[in-house]
Amino acid sequence: MDRNEKDILLNQMWDIVLRETQVEDDSGCDWFTIGDNTYIGDTDCHVSSNKEVAELVNAINALEGQSGLKKVVHITPEYAILLDKKI
């Protein structure tokens, strides 16, 4: 996939995520998922329980992570319990 195709795909995916979560400003924080839940920056900022949104966020993180733009962050519910994080 060339850079233009990747950018177009990422923009389309972000458009869907932002529309579904109604987030207008993420303050530049990383988006991550725990199970089907999506958060921005910290587990205190829960923005969605929609499985499809979580899958899109994981796909975006994977695509952006390949170019080093963002960290890939996905935590399973079981691991979150070990970290003592409420989900």
Would you state the pLDDT for residue 75?
Answer: 58
Residue 14 belongs to a domain: yes
CA distance 64 to 70: 6
Comparing 50 with 74, which gets the higher pLDDT?
A: 50
Q: Per residue in 6-41, pLDDT tens?
A: 889 999 999 999 999 999 877 788 898 988 999 998
In a domain, 24, yes or no: yes
Cα 34 to its chain centre, rounded Å, is: 10
pTM of the model: 0.72
Tokens 């958060």 found at: 39
Number of structural domains (the chain) is 1
Rounded Cα gap, residues 51 and 66, in angstroms:
23
Q: What pairing do the DSSP bridges indicate for beta strands 74-75 and 31-34?
A: parallel
Within a domain: 10: yes
Domain around 19:
3-82
* Residue 51 placed within a domain: yes
